[in-house]
Amino acid sequence: MLYLKAEKLDAFLARAAETRKLYVPVDSEPGRSSYREWTPGTAVSRGLHTTRSAKDFFFPQTENLAGFRVEDKKIRVIDPRAETEDFAVFGVRACDARSFGILDKVFLADPVDTYYENRRRHGLILSMSCRRPAETCFCKNFGIDAAEPEGDVRFTDDGDGWYLEALTEAGKAFLDPLADLCEDRDPAGAEAAKEKTREIVDRLPLNDLPVGKFGGGKTKELFDRPEWAELSEACIGCGTCTFVCPTCQCYDIRDFDTGREIRRFRCWDSCMYSDFTKMAGGNPRLTQKERFRQRFMHKLVYFPENNGGEFGCVGCGRCLASCPIHMHIVKVMKRLGEDENEQ
Amino acid sequence: MRNKLVERAKELLADGTVTRVIGWKRGEFSYDVTPAVFETAEELEKDFVYDGFCGANVSKYLIRESAKEGKILAFLKPCDAFSFNQLLAEHRIRRENVYAVGIPCEGMADIGKIRSAGIDGVTGIREEGEEFVLSTLYGEERIAKKDALAERCLVCKSKRHPVYDELIGEEGEDLPDDARFEAVDKLEKMTAEERFQFWRGELSRCIRCNACRNVCPACTCENCVFDNPDSGLSQKAAADPFEESMYHIIRAFHVAGRCTDCGECSRVCPENIPLHLLNRKFIKDIDELYGAYRAGENAENKNPLVSFREEDAEPSVVHERGRA
């Protein structure tokens, strides 16, 4: 099995960056990282998570969809789409790696979102096993194995370097020309590293969420639960949880008048915002309780209902770490999942 | 202290002085407390918490809570009390529906600082003298309280409550302001270009989640100009980093003279942008141009930016200072 020593990482990334743009997590300050384009000398973060998720690569916060310009009394439609260049994202954890599959179910379902599809087709995922999960991690509840992330190439971290494994054809095509930078090692080492990860994951404090109380078909049971009022009480209605979330995929489309042309753009929307789902006829979600409920019902009930049981949460824990008032999906699941006779 | 607060709250609920209590609710890991309204003695016993992680300012919730029927008991730290008073000055809170209890604050810890000190996997925290003892997934860790304190608490403006109906513990005093304005001094000493680069670097990380605005006790417009599609300024996303900066600058201008420097904006920022520095610059300018002033000091609105005195600075001061 291919093994890349930590000291060879720079050479590996340098070679990889010759054929495509390469994005790596970089520490912006201790304990906080974000994705940056790799250039020689870039220090790759060894932290667990980037503050923002990796969804930004495929579903950016804003993008222009079309332009309209009046020329000689005719409206010209400008299509801003261009073929995306190949790129690779390094260091994607198992939770984020799973999130792409969830986004695919939304954007690649008929009718295919060509803007998203374009980027997805050109983006290579170099995923990374976790060695130091955080207390906020709860991916195991959703059947995600932090030791074996999905992706095109899997990096299994043993602390001194990485066992490499191509999981797709594209991954193989990427990895083959880089094999000379690696050495050959017994795959037993990779298995041992994975076991170590799983041992830690097994003692995480949020492993036993009442997942079974949620899922498709639970709308009637959960929608009118009185607990929503108490759970949403302190929510300040900001968009933090939705914007750091790897699976939140709601967007808004608006027109912007530049003075010379109209730009039709889409941008992330947040169910936490007061104008979410505001329509000509009004807004079906008038208070924060309804908006708050929407976020969790979407992830835990509506999404699985429409997508073969798959939950719309990957347990990355970013919302737990970022929510200004620490009210998040774990507290919601625990509260709503309590047995009535236990209360 | 926590037990003292719970006991007093139970008494006030029992004798009918109040019908509800606003405070902080226990979370999963000690540090993740949530502001909450408690209605019964049992709820208080079970979940009420007051410790070094109750940084959330509860005063803004009182806009909504005081509009409801019945009186609510609000536990106010000195910072919260300044915000509360400022909201009273702006007629945002119905005073008669709030029973304000001033509580002491030794400074609040910032889990972000603990994480950036390299301590991860924190599942529980207890206080031991001048230290926090942290149980983590990877063993026990210790950190000096002062190293875990939020920036706003390291430069605490006051341990005094400018308003209360009742006080628990001893009343504190105002603290010297020098340290609080050190970072502003530093920014002022930069060249315009350096300062521009500094802010551009910081604000470029903004994800426009609006947490700073929504948590801010001075941001109480019922429909913010940035949310109102009819304003022409409505922004769900910024076209470029310049626009992002404008959002923050406009917000800082709008709260100028009303901001009590509670520091909630910086606490909630998921990108750790030092937003409080914008506000502090305005506070320092107001002090210098109009004489020492502290928003939230009293409930009579004498904000120098909305009142006129002959000795006030002339508008031309902007031009003069800009040239310096």
Q: In B257-283, which positions are buried (b, 16+ CB within 10 angstroms) versus exposed (e)?
A: bbbbbbbbbbbbbbbbbbbbbbbbbbb
What residues of A are in contact with residue B229 (Cβ under 8 Å)? Answer: 275, 278
Question: Chain B partners of A233 at a C-beta cutoff of 8 Å?
Answer: 36-37
Please state the ipTM of this predicted complex.
0.93
B302 touches A: beta carbon within 8 Å: no
CA gap A155, A165 in Å, rounded: 7
Least confident of A92-96, A176-180, B19-23, B234-238: B234-238
Kindly state the average pLDDT of the residues A248-267. 91
Of A30, A205, A322, nearest to B270 by CB-CB distance is A322
Test the B interface: residue of A49, A204, A240 with most B CBs within 10 Å: A240
Q: Any idea which residue has 């006829």 for tokens?
A: A281
Give tens-digit pLDDT for A66-93.
Answer: 999 999 899 999 999 999 999 999 999 9
Instruction: Name the token pair of A135.
Output: 């207390």
Q: HSE-up of B157 (CA within 13 Å, CB side)? A: 25
Q: How far is residue B237 from each of residues A8, A255, B221, B299, measured CA to CA in Å?
A: 40, 12, 20, 36
For chain A, give the mean pLDDT.
94
Report d(CA A151, CA A159) in Å as an integer: 20
Assign B320 a pLDDT band (cuts: 50, 70, 90): confident
Determine which of B40, B203, B207, B228 to mutate to test the interface with A (most A C-beta atoms within 10 Å). B207
| Residue in B122, B210, B272 closest to A29 by CB | B272
Chain B residues within 8 A of A203 when measuring between CB atoms: 137
- pLDDT band at residue A272 using 50, 70 and 90 as cut-offs: very high
Q: What are B230-244's pLDDT values in tens digits? A: 777 766 776 666 777
- Residue B211 to residue A239, Cβ atoms within 8 A: yes
**Tokens 């551009």 found at:** B200
Cβ B118–A62 below 8 Å, yes or no?
Answer: no
Q: Which of A267-276, A310-319, B239-248: highest mean pLDDT?
A: A310-319
Q: Which residues of A touch B115 (CB under 8 A)?
A: 31
Judging contacts by C-beta atoms under 8 Å, the chain B residues touching residue A253 are none
Cβ neighbours around A81 below 10 Å, total: 12
Q: Which of A135, A254, A324 sits opposite B211 (nearest CB)?
A: A324
Torsion (CA) A91, A97, A100, A102 in degrees, nearest 10: -160
CB pairs below 8 Å between A and B: how many? 124
Cβ within 8 Å, pair B32-A326: yes
Quick one: pLDDT at residue A79?
Answer: 94
- Mean pLDDT within A309-322: 96
Burial of A297 (0-12, 13-18, 19+ CB in 10 A): buried
Per-residue model confidence (pLDDT) at position B323: 67
Q: Per the CB < 8 Å rule, is A326 touching B121?
A: no
pLDDT-based confidence at residue A341 (cuts at 50, 70, 90): very low
B209–A240: do the CB atoms touch at under 8 Å? yes
B209 touches chain A (CB under 8 A): yes
Instruction: Report, as an integer, the average pLDDT of A34-57.
Output: 95
For residue A116, what pLDDT band results from cuts at 50, 70 and 90? very high
Residues in chain A closer than 8 A to B150 (CB atoms): none
pLDDT at A343 over 50: no
Q: What is the C-alpha to C-alpha distance for residues B259 and B255, in angstroms, rounded to an integer? A: 5
Mean pLDDT of A111-120: 97
Answer whether A64's CB lies under 8 Å from A255's CB.
no
pLDDT at A311: 97
Taking residues B255-264, report their average pLDDT: 96
Q: Where are the domains of chain A?
A: 2-202, 211-342
- Specify the amino acid at residue B1: M
pLDDT band at B178 (very low <50, low <70, confident <90, very high): confident
Give the whole-angstrom CA distance, residue A64 versus residue A62. 7
pLDDT tens string B200-229: 999 988 999 999 999 999 999 988 988 887
Q: Where are the domains of chain B?
A: 1-107+158-175, 111-148, 177-324
